[in-house]
Structure 1
């Protein structure tokens, strides 16, 4: 479990491809790995991955074909938002994030508005119903508040701090992004649908 509050931005230093899977080496020099051990989880661009090896400045993870299928993937040399798993004593500054990406959205617009930027994203149709005005959504692992919703499109205001401390500053129109909707919305839909089917 995560919060969507990014702790560092790393880089995919190497991709060792298998048949359909891959092992990634993540350069994480800006992330404190002193309390991380093999078997721990680190969210990389919102994807919960298991550490299989590490040293003081990097760690390795295995990525399955299924993960590649439902995310934007991990191109070599790409920047990735990093967050270590939530501990029970930690502050919950964002919202509860599972690290299980629901789908890939598309950036439609990324425009300056004063000192901030407005990010407009198109969500896959099956996810759009879970995104609500003033609700939470995770974009590339970053917990964000939805400003407006129009059908399958939603907008977010990005403050300078977010742009400085995540990889979202590199987005541009047509960029794909990992999306995870608020899990509470998913539970609510399941409860309502189950009740209607009984």
Structure 2
């Protein structure tokens, strides 16, 4: 489990084809690899991945074809920035919202507009995810916990304050970019309970 509070921005150091899938190597110098062990979970651009190798400041992850198909990880190139977060411990503060790192789909950045010192961002998600996104609810974009301002069909908007832009990959995002979307965990379970 994660909180959606990005701890560092890493850089893709390698995307190595391995037997049909990929070994992703991330330079995680800013995250600090002390205390990270093989088998630990790290959220990489919002995707929960398992550490399979550690080399100085670099972390390696094996990424399956399923994960490549269901997230934006397959479109990354060497040098791409990725939001990073270590898994929560039971004693940690929960500053964002509960995030599993299980991406529900890939959306797109539709618009970025100034709004005083903030920026108003508009995203579009696959239609089947739109019903889970509610005004003033939580959503996780590329591993960042955000509050939804408004919804309009498969589109929704958020405001990003200068701090969030500065410490995440949002500073490098452009209109048209793909984004990993994880809906709120509670919305998933409520729907399941209602369906019986």
Question: Normalising by the residue count of structure 1, what TM-score does the alignment of the two structures yield?
Answer: 0.96
Deviation at 1:57, TM superposition (A): 1.2
Runs of 4+ more than 4 Å apart: none
**Residue of structure 2 aligned with 1:186, choices 167, 185, 188:** 188
Matching residue within 106, 114, 121 for 1:104: 106
Instruction: Find the counterpart in structure 1 of residue 44 from structure 2.
Output: 44
Residue 158 (1) aligns with residue 160 (2): yes
Match of 1:169 in 2: 171
**Is 1:71 aligned with 2:99?**
no
Deviations 1:74-121 (A, max 9, x none): 322210000000000100000000000000001110111111111100
Structure 2 distance, partners of 1:27, 1:145, is 29
Note the 1:74-85 alignment, pairs <5 A.
74-85=76-87
Distance (whole Å) between structure 1 residues aligned to residue 45 and residue 166 of structure 2: 16
Alpha-carbon distance, 1:20 to partner:
2.8
Report the alpha carbon displacement of residue 19 of structure 1 after superposing the two structures with TM: 3.8
Q: C-alpha distance in 1, partners of 2:26/2:97?
A: 25
1:114 and 2:97 matched: no
* Ranges in structure 2 where 5+ consecutive residues have no aligned partner: none
What is the TM-score of this pair, normalised by structure 2? 0.97
Q: Separation in 2 of the partners of 1:69 and 1:83?
A: 22
Aligned residues: 194
2:91 matched residue in structure 1? 89
